[in-house]
Structure 1
């Protein structure tokens, strides 16, 4: 049974931003104290949770897109071996599967803009 590496890449795409967000949560009190000492700026107490939410949105969308591209791509290659004239239509299907990751990235950016 042949396994695809695409879900592993999606899992890594989820784990790295979550690790960065958790690191921010750990360092956040020091950053808040420095910001208060330097100026009267208010640091949002929910910034770390917003970063985790953005990481989950982007990571799960990347994981879903990786799985979709793996499934659609393998089916597209099989279809192209029988009918090579379907190349254009099949590229559109693979592009639609990749669009899922872009939607997740847009949601992550929208979440981070509210912080």
Structure 2
């Protein structure tokens, strides 16, 4: 199996694991759902999908950032091997790729604030 194929397989496995864990952790029992509705809270179905959306926003953006950092990082290391004075430019590009994950976390926080 090639490196790219292995990377794609691990990406799919991590996404499936994230989806499985989030679905196991978020389903409430009917008694808890009735108690939440009686307490004046949001509909449990809305809360459930809000939590799924927040988890997916963080998870998918983190996977995208990991892919971007891998691509930019390897190119940056190759460029630094030939011209060490490019370190400042290379670290800025890697930082921009990391920003993708931070945007996902910000979106998750905004979603969770709307639910609370």
Kindly state the Cα deviation for residue 78 of structure 1 after the two structures are TM-superposed.
0.4
- Is 1:22 matched up with 2:14? no
TM-score normalised by the chain length of structure 2: 0.77
The residue number in structure 2 matching 1:98 is 98
> Whole-Å Cα distance in 1 between the matches of residues 42 and 34 of structure 2?
9
TM-score normalised by the chain length of structure 1: 0.78
The residue number in structure 1 matching 2:39 is 40
> Whole-Å Cα distance in 1 between the matches of residues 55 and 25 of structure 2?
12
Kindly state the Cα deviation for residue 8 of structure 1 after the two structures are TM-superposed.
3.5
Unpaired runs of 5+ residues, structure 1, are none
Whose RCO is larger (CA < 8 A, sep 6+)?
A: 1
Distance 1:26 1:2, change over 3 A: closer
Distance 1:73 1:101, change over 3 A: same
How many residue pairs match? The answer is: 112
CA offsets, 1:75-109, max 9 Å, x none?
00000011001111101110110010000011011
The residue number in structure 1 matching 2:32 is 31
Q: Is the 8 A contact 1:15 1:59 kept in 2?
A: no
RMSD: 2.7
